[in-house]
Structure 1
């Protein structure tokens, strides 16, 4: 029995997706690593009693781990407010064969073997195909179908490709 979900992207969900996409990539991982390194240097200089250097590294850590993410999130949200994609309603139909996508101007069906990765954030369920295009499903619009969709994803995709948090689907 197919599972149907109607989705209309909103600024909050798109911002969450873009933020995840940025910080799960190499530049984001490097930024988080540098932030952690600065925290380590802060602790090392504190233990040595070099409080001026400790202050310098704590400022860098706050910039990398706090200020930059806030600016990035605000910038992405501002860009998403003007996106034409936000007003389009998309109908997704999940079944044993794949995912069918329908909009007012286009439709298509993709078999499960086209999808290479599935991930979750607090606000979205994201399914990537082989060309790194994403199906973004806002959690608050999925309703009771969320568990069934996650079950289909886990059934049809390799476990190593599914990065859906355990607490995402409540048992």
Structure 2
């Protein structure tokens, strides 16, 4: 079994990855909880503390809850536009030996034993080979190859390392 496809990174795909990565980390979860906490604090202390203190609480709330995803989107758009690796399509071949990517005559191979975890987002499959190293495989780029890729992942990666359909 084998799957071949090309990946062209777009701001949407990079944003999807950054959202997942941010909000599935300790700091992302802490930021949400802290944002909710500052909102509760602003409401609970309204009129009991100075207006400037309430404004500080609300500023933290706005920064941590609705503004953070907006900032992530702009960072993703900038990264998709400026990162040289994202400028040209990456050709992927996924088979029983692992994952091979090629771009501009350069080729990289990842064996299945190097895949530490697999996660699914709305738009992509994420194959982590380290804490900070991840291959982003957009579903839209795989097209009808998605079932073959999923089958290869299930065949070669331990079930406890795979979390899809979250």
TM-score above 0.5: yes
**RMSD of Structure 2 on Structure 1 (CA):** 2.6
8 A contact 2:2–2:148 mirrored in 1: no
8 A contact 2:11–2:73 mirrored in 1: no
Aligned length: 161
What TM-score results when the alignment is normalised by the length of structure 2?
Answer: 0.80
Q: Aligned partners of 2:42 and 2:151: how far apart in 1?
A: 44
Aligned positions of 1:1-171 closer than 5 A: 1-38=1-38, 41=41, 45=44, 51-52=46-47, 60-130=60-130, 132-165=132-165
Change (3 A) 1:8 1:65: same
Higher relative contact order (CA 8 A, sep 6+): 2
Q: Aligned partners of 1:154 and 1:107: how far apart in 2?
A: 24
Q: Is there any run of 5+ residues in structure 2 with no aligned partner, and where?
A: 49-53
Displacement after TM superposition at 1:6 (Å)? 1.3
What TM-score results when the alignment is normalised by the length of structure 1?
Answer: 0.78
Q: Aligned partners of 2:91 and 2:71: how far apart in 1?
A: 33
